[in-house]
Structure 1
Amino acid sequence: MEIKKVVIVGRGALGILFGYHFTEKMGKSAVSFIASDDRIKKYNQEVSLCNGKVCDFSYISEDLKGEPADLVIFAVKSTRLEEALETAKNQIGDNTTIISVLNGISSEKIISDRYGKERIIHCVAQGMDAVKLGNDLSYSKMGELIVGIQSEDKQKRERLDSLCDFFEKVQLPYTREKDIIHRMWSKFMLNVGVNQVVMVNEGTYKTIQSPGEPRYMMIGAMREVVKLSEYEGANVTEKELQDYLSIVDSLDPENMPSMRQDGIEKRKSEVELFSGTVINLSKEHSVESPVNELLYKKIKEIESTY
């Protein structure tokens, strides 16, 4: 299962970040973005930058049939995942490994319903401070991919081994995680707090790095996820919440999370993925989530003006 051909679905911040890195390490012929013909035409008419360097990417049509990719990476917004599943269909074969760098805790289930859970390696993208405004991507921290499998079996372990070997080869920072579901919930907790609070305050990471109402609101939203994780068997703890606050405090104060970038560009955000998920799970488990309910309301009000 050696990975020699990589296809990326989605040319947002993380798509460009990983696409640029892989292209630099593997060469243009080994890494491609897949999209509709109309979207490819648009991409070819634009100049995209990654930390000031021009991105010379390869594109393939979603209609092209041929040898499937060894690795397919879904790097779209959750609002476009169903469309992306259709876009990628001609690149997914029996030996294709799939990872998702989407936020939240649901994309792997959605992808596996379409393409089978045997192809999925669970993944968390963490620690990057990438900001994409227009066609210009900048970042000071590349972060890492945290990967793992939910249950041990020979085929899944071989896929995970192959993926980690690939990351070693292309010098991509990564961690092989034993309890990947726990880690995904921990990252979900972080996103629920950081993304939403920075968006409603129209700020940057600086907004939540000092004591004050925004930081307290962020912590309150995160604690509601900690509570839900107990019911869902993921068991995120207060200690981990504090550890993630340390990560928040290490980020560039002038940068911002993806949700705030959506707000600046007047794009619909992933609010359903964050507070929407928290509210639905809270109803299932008969617990309260007042902070996330307030954030959901405020974000919907902002989006209604677009």
Structure 2
Amino acid sequence: MKVKIIGMGALGVMYANYIKERAGEDAVCFVMDSSRLERYEGQVFLCNKKEQTFCMEDSEKAEKADLVIVAVKYNGLASAIETMRHCVGDGTIIMSVMNGISSEDRIAAQYGADKMIYTVAQGMDAMKFGNELKYTQMGELRIGAKLPQQEKNVEAVSKYFDEIQMPYQKDADIMHRIWGKFMLNVGVNQTCMTYGTNYAGVLREGEAHDTMIAAMEEVIALGNAEGIALTWTDRDYYVGLLETLDPEGIPSMAQDRVSRRHSEVEMFAGTVIELGKKHQIPVPANERLYQMVQEIEKEY
């Protein structure tokens, strides 16, 4: 497959590095607008201290891809959908490794549900600051079909992932998996950011841990109201996943705070608050986290 990646954050660089190492220089290319290309073309990245460069392509001159991986922040999704325009052809498959529960549907609204597979990236502790990427756990991708016409895409991507030994699993109930990861991110991302702590900090008993769990349990209630059968067993599974990560690592929103970037709080607490209103379910933990993030970002 010819793979094009939209987004040069931690996951985008991690997957580009993995694919290049196993499938060669021409197998993967970042696609971006001309101004970004001018800034980043030829840049040397440090991937776990190993120097690496990547193919980069002007979005207006991009060739059709077999697989497009969308790896941007929530605030960048609208522009990413436009950026990939020339990459998408009749046979292109699109996957999003973004957080949240809506990116696939938004991409499908533009390019068609028949091009999508639904994806969760979980279990990684990747951190990227500037041109340096660090991780101790690459985690795995969970892929699946929401609709019957997407099954062929899942099989095609599975075959490719088998060829390059990408860590992945097919998931028969991918929407349950997506909501489970959303639950984890609502808890751990927002708590680590607002409390200025790391994975070890939210796993220790105390206020940060209690806040994370309360925020996750609000997502369980909302998931059930939306027809997704999340349980406390799911909560415990994802908290257990945190225990496999680098204790000193921090998730993406905490990295945003360090870099003084605006975060994905609208995708996390913002979504929870709106769903709470829809179903008349109280979400006080997420309302509090939302306000805390707003106060932090006012100082940028």
Structure 1 length as normaliser, TM-score?
A: 0.96
State the Cα RMSD in Å: 0.9
Q: 2:50 aligns with which of 49, 53, 73?
A: 53
Q: 1:195 aligns with which of 176, 189, 211?
A: 189
For 1:121, the equivalent position in structure 2 comes to 117
2:177 & 2:271 partners in 1: Cα distance?
17
* Residue type of the alignment partner of 2:118: H
For 2:221, the equivalent position in structure 1 comes to 227
SS of equivalent residue, structure 1 residue 123: strand
For 2:39, the equivalent position in structure 1 comes to 42
For 1:29, the equivalent position in structure 2 comes to 26
SS of equivalent residue, structure 2 residue 76: helix
1:208, distance to aligned residue in structure 2 (A): 0.6
Q: 1:86 aligns with which of 76, 79, 82?
A: 82
Please list every run of 5 or more consecutive structure 1 residues that lacks an aligned counterpart in the other structure: none
String of CA shifts for 1:120-179, please: whole Å, max 9, x gaps: 1000000000011111100000000000001224xx222111100111111110010000
* Residue type of the alignment partner of 1:15: G
1:14, distance to aligned residue in structure 2 (A): 0.1
Q: 1:173 aligns with which of 167, 172, 175?
A: 167
* Residue type of the alignment partner of 1:39: R
Structure 2 length as normaliser, TM-score?
A: 0.98
Residue pair 2:43, 2:53 contacting (<8 A) in 1 also: no
* Residue type of the alignment partner of 2:22: K
Q: 2:65 aligns with which of 63, 69, 74?
A: 69
Percent identical: 44
* Number of residue equivalences: 300
2:18 & 2:244 partners in 1: Cα distance?
23
1:114, distance to aligned residue in structure 2 (A): 0.7
Moved more, 38-47 or 83-92: 38-47
1:47, distance to aligned residue in structure 2 (A): 2.4
2:178 & 2:151 partners in 1: Cα distance?
19
SS of equivalent residue, structure 1 residue 63: helix
Matching of residue 267 in structure 1 with residue 261 in structure 2: yes
Q: Once superposed, which parts of structure 1, at least 4 consecutive aligned residues long, lie more than 3 Å away?
A: none
Matching of residue 112 in structure 1 with residue 136 in structure 2: no
String of CA shifts for 1:204-252, please: whole Å, max 9, x gaps: 1111111111001100000000000111111110111111111112211
* Residue type of the alignment partner of 2:109: D
SS of equivalent residue, structure 1 residue 169: helix
Q: 2:296 aligns with which of 283, 293, 302?
A: 302
Matching of residue 103 in structure 1 with residue 99 in structure 2: yes
Please list every run of 5 or more consecutive structure 2 residues that lacks an aligned counterpart in the other structure: none
